Chains A and B, each alone.
Chain A
Amino acid sequence: MKKLSHALVVLGLLCAGSALAQDAPAADDAASADDAAPKVVTYEPWDQETLDLFATLPVQDGGRVKPLDTYARFALLKINGKWSLDLGEEGKIKEPVAWLLYSLFYPEIAADYHQFIVDNYEAVAAIGIDPGDKKRARYSYNEIAKGAQKLFELDNAYRQKEQADRTTVEQQIINLAENFLQYDQILHYFDFARRTYTAPADSAMGAALTDRGGASLSMLLMRAPEVLKALREEGTSLTPERVNQEAKAIAGVMDELEFVLNPTHGMALIPPPEPSQQAWMTPADMATRAFNVRDLDAASNNPIEMLGLLERLPGLVNDRDAFKKMAAQFHSKVTAAASLRGEYDKVPLEVSFYRMKWIPNSQVLYLISFFIVALSWVFPYNRWWRYATQASVLVPTILLIVGITIRCIIRERPPVSTLYETVLFITACSVATALIIEWMNKERIVIALAAVLGTAGMFLANRYEMKEGVDTMPALIAVLDTNFWLSTHVTTVTFGYAAGMLAGAIAHIYIIGRVLRIRIADRKFYQNVTKMTYGVLCFGLLFSVVGTILGGIWANDSWGRFWGWDPKENGALMICLWSLCVLHAKMGGYIKELGINMGAVIMAIIVTFSWWGVNNLGVGLHSYGFVKGVWFNLFLFWGFEGIVLLAGFALWLMGDTLLPKRAAANPESGHHGKTKKPQTA
């Protein structure tokens, strides 16, 4: 059904004289054989081998060499908001690289995929498209194209505004324009390979290209420097008319190339032959090199052979075996060149990292652990349930730690260098610390919390990744590109955040437990909870203080001052100051159990302000990771924490009457840890 409907669409396009009708391969010797291939476009699922070939193909994007799989993954995520594409009745494209291949090689079909996610109908209405009755919907390239002119007008106008001043709809229009452009480049990437190049026959360029009725791009780029060189050698002997004629022919070819090669800027698939050149090449770069009259000798270095293989792919798409063979040849050439440059070794690992789904799987398992923990409360004294609970938290934590480690290996960096990575790291650290506490005191209090923190942390990581839709292992700006400081300051201070969040989370057990009168007669239980809160606060203080000062030392080495009152620095300082305040208040006897726990809740508020809030102030040297809409979620969180604090305050006003002061009041629970079985309320 799927094949048929797509075939019909293509047939329609063919009849309408679509550009695809010229889907002939390049007209060189090897390609001429492909001319005989049937002109019927099939639309079969890609076999795994083909997908693997393209997934592991290196591409330079965002300042680093990454697998094409990663490129496709984040392009699809950005456009579609998901890592798969639902085609309705026609099924689902599960692999991002498969989506990329359909888009590259069947552009006329892919242009009708409903994939541009628009969260607010006002954004599409603004560009003159009827949004229908859905507030949030996905639109196809062809649908958006109808309002493209208006889209880019609005995009241009809204970009004049500061990001923080844009409305949600304005930002969505900007995002839509960006996604539309990126996808336009993908759809038209192989346009250069779907045509042949000619020049007037009475020119030298024409003579070089028309001997076989038009040349492929690789042939053109191979011959153009020779033509230019010959013309230069002839030099002054040329008549003005001839000069004019030749110039016109060359300019014509160059204009055509500029138009047709523009979309190829999006994907740099060809490693440059010169080891000193960092930037990988696109067909457009190769054309620039071939026509650079100042240095025509450099054109001889153009990796024409790779381009020749690449340009033949669209013409072979209906013969999947031949297509796969050609793709394998291209893959082998590119990976060999990339390996020589030392830029390929991490590519397969990155592909397997995403395919193994270490981090998404840990999210699912944390969620399961949450239910296992809940069930374990039904059988509180069963040893096996205890083991099962611990294992259910331990397994996703191990997956998460393995995932973080693989990321470190791929990027050769410490675990934290982006906002997304702070979420993973803080989740892993807080859950691991909770597990260690559980292992030490076997109270089965924090293990439940670990499941909640793991689930919440991974949910946050997933939301952030989905919302941002950008590579989470990006190249770093110069000042951050230092493994020494990333591994010392950033890791330490992030660990401090993790401890602050964990302390805050444990404190919730105390306050909510007392409000709901859970195990209210068990004073020991609440004492233990407070001990844990206090211990984690102290532990967090060590990391926060050392991390903050290390940050100062880094700043002293990079910006010339130890402390500059930058918002991010201030956030870290506030965590230290509040920890110190709580600890000194406890030492001075001004606060007791309830006070310490309320202090820890306030700590969680401060940590979230420092972690997410200051990034969105839009000032300071650390103002990276601006996330639209983060304030709403922060205020939601702070509102909830405010309610918890109010509840704590109410407990304080009511005095300690709800909690027996002496264990004697509860002879079962006893003093000095003599309890054998904790009492429930």
Chain B
Amino acid sequence: MKEFAYQHATQVHEALTAVARNAGARYLGGGTNLVDLMKCGVEEPTRLVDVRRLPLDGVQVAPDGGLVIGATTTNSDAAAHPEVRRRFPALAQAVLAGASGQLRNMATVGGNLLQRTRCGYFTDLSSPCNKRIPGSGCAAIEGVHHNHAILGHTAHCVATHPSDLAVALCAFDAVVRYETLDGTGEIPLEQFYLPVDDRPDRETALPPGALITAVVLPGSAHTPRSCYRKVRERASYAFATVSVAAALDIRDGVVRDVRVALGGVASHPWRARTAEAVLRDARPTAELFRAAAEAELSTARPLRDNGYKVALARNLVGAVLGGLAATEGNR
């Protein structure tokens, strides 16, 4: 690990200034991903600006019935919060489906969104990786890629985004709130992650030096009938093979509102807009759910060894929607 300076900030402006003034400076949250990447040599910051003591902690109920989750709120506190569990069950479930009890106690909501892919070639300095060294190539396309992307990938990168939280946030139309020295800004989660294109090293739409201050869940997305289901290679403490965050509101026998987002299938949470269009205003049946899932996955382009994910995602979407349709209030 390269030597680096460290400071902890107590005010947002102090943190923003410290990063703006020092080339190579990075914000440090829980450190569960950044510290590990520093050990591997993937990240080599010259200065860490610790943001955990900033007044950005906690969950607030917004006037519209939505929630504002401060960026330094730990995953544990977000998942245990009664209003998160009551208003956005899939969000609490998504957080609890990720990592371990120890890591959730450390990791922050803001940091969760900025974590890097767990593609093995990204952390293997002896392999080419366009995400790590632009233009160096992608070892995963012909290599070990059974858990890589089936949607939205390019010849430059086939990695997936590992966050569970972000998948639920995507389904709920969450907005990422940030601050720079020029002021505050907001980016909808669905536009927060950039398409892979030919520069997979550019991952988010955040301006340089920006600090995430909160994620905002709109009151209009509030639903007691939402669910996060994650398929993985062991029962707990593993990244998603495929995951689904969904909310379903059925009234008078017709789908009035539906939200579906997929994890583990692309470089970012995949909002299933095509499936949602098939479902909206239709009569909810198993056949409809199946048709919606098939429509969404029709553009999937599996790699040599991950074709199983297409069927898995299709089945998972159908099963999650079927489960939500059978819950109290939707029958």
B and A form one assembly: no
Footprint of A on B, CB under 8 Å? none
Using CB atoms and an 8 Å cutoff, list the residues of chain A in contact with chain B.
Answer: none
